[in-house]
Amino acid sequence: MASIIVEEGEMFVSHDVVSLFTNTPVPETLNIIKDRLLADTDLKNRTKLQVEDIMELLTFIVTTTYFSFRGNIYQQRFGTAMGSPVSPVLANLFMEWLEQQAMATAPVNCRPKLWKRYVDDIMEIIRQGTQHELTDHLNSIDPTGSIKFTQTRSKTVVTEETDRQQEVKHIKQALSLCGYPDWTFKRVQHQSNKPKPKKEKKKEEQKSKGMIIIPYVKGITETLERIFRKHAIATAVKPKTTLRNLLVHPKDRLEDSSKTDCVYKIPCKSCDKVYIGETGRTFNTRLEEHKKEAQNSKGIGTLEQLFAHPDILEHLFEEAEQF
């Protein structure tokens, strides 16, 4: 980058892909991966798997994304899963193919002099006034129409008012194509035009003694914030319930009786003595073994000696408490 020079008549622009992971077309990406594997002459030296085997495994992984919500199980039908370690690899491979196609077919007048991409963020140097044409060209490459680019430029980059108005107009058009409603533009414009109140600087500002993060509990968190503020301690509020906690439940919660590698206790009915045990199998399996031993021993033998308290045996036929 140190050797790159922006000549007169050129400009820096950046593009961003809208929701890359969830908009990555899976079938097309799998075809791209298969073609690259078939063209890889060194593949046999790195794995004993055939291309068909790799593709079968990969297809199974990316087409069986399930999640549970309020007792119902859903399947993701399009795009790659957020949080999956495979998703960045697929998205990056598809973007690599897309940018190769875009650069090979780009019109000469808007072909970038510099193109640097990191996943879904791209920085380019192009001729001034060709940014809109380049954006339209990039949005025409994906055969499924799911990958959409938005152009980003800040007010500090655009120096002329007429250029800024053109940028705002283009951004609105680009975001409208991506499904953003009109009311979002009006709200942003209203907020940007709203004069910012001048903050009066305090003569003697207390030095901050640090920051703590507290969960939000209505009626309590507000009081704690005021107390900490008096002592120059900043607070950050962390929500107790988040969308992730509500929506993302890849696995249903196990019942206590189905848990493994647990410690359990069986209390005595007539005093405060308890029997404490440990098992690597399911708790229910170990409890059933205790019951059978109690029935077979009939109050005598190794089990009674082990517990050293006859009344505990009677509890083997009742609910044991796990902790």
In this structure, is residue 74 part of a structural domain? yes
Residue of higher predicted confidence among 240 and 77: 77
Give percent above pLDDT 90 in the chain: 31
Q: How confident is the model over 196-211, as pLDDT tens digits?
A: 776 655 544 557 778 8
In this structure, is residue 151 part of a structural domain? no
Instruction: Indicate yes or no: pTM above 0.75.
Output: no
In contact, 149 and 170? CB cutoff 8 Å: no
Residue of higher predicted confidence among 265 and 300: 265
Q: How confident is the model over 89-110, as pLDDT tens digits?
A: 999 999 999 999 999 999 999 9
In this structure, is residue 195 part of a structural domain? no
Q: Which domain holds residue 220?
A: 211-247
In this structure, is residue 168 part of a structural domain? no
End position of a domain, from candidates 191, 222, 247: 247
Q: Is 269 in the same domain as 293?
A: yes
Number of domains in the chain: 3
Q: Is 295 in the same domain as 229?
A: no
Q: Is 21 in the same domain as 142?
A: yes
302 pLDDT above the threshold of 80: no
End position of a domain, from candidates 146, 175, 198: 146
294 pLDDT above the threshold of 70: no
In this structure, is residue 154 part of a structural domain? no
Q: Is 139 in the same domain as 50?
A: yes
**Cα 148 to the center of its chain, rounded Å:** 20
Q: Is 40 in the same domain as 139?
A: yes
In contact, 184 and 212? CB cutoff 8 Å: no
246 pLDDT above the threshold of 80: no
pLDDT band of 52, cuts 50, 70, 90: very high
Q: Is 139 in the same domain as 20?
A: yes
Q: Is 233 in the same domain as 269?
A: no
Q: Which residues have a Cβ under 8 Å from the Cβ of 263 and sit 6 or more positions away? A: 276, 277, 278, 322, 323
Q: Which residues have a Cβ under 8 Å from the Cβ of 141 and sit 6 or more positions away? A: 98, 101, 102, 105, 147
32 pLDDT above the threshold of 50: yes
pLDDT number for residue 49: 93
315 pLDDT above the threshold of 70: no
Q: Is 267 in the same domain as 221?
A: no
End position of a domain, from candidates 201, 221, 247: 247
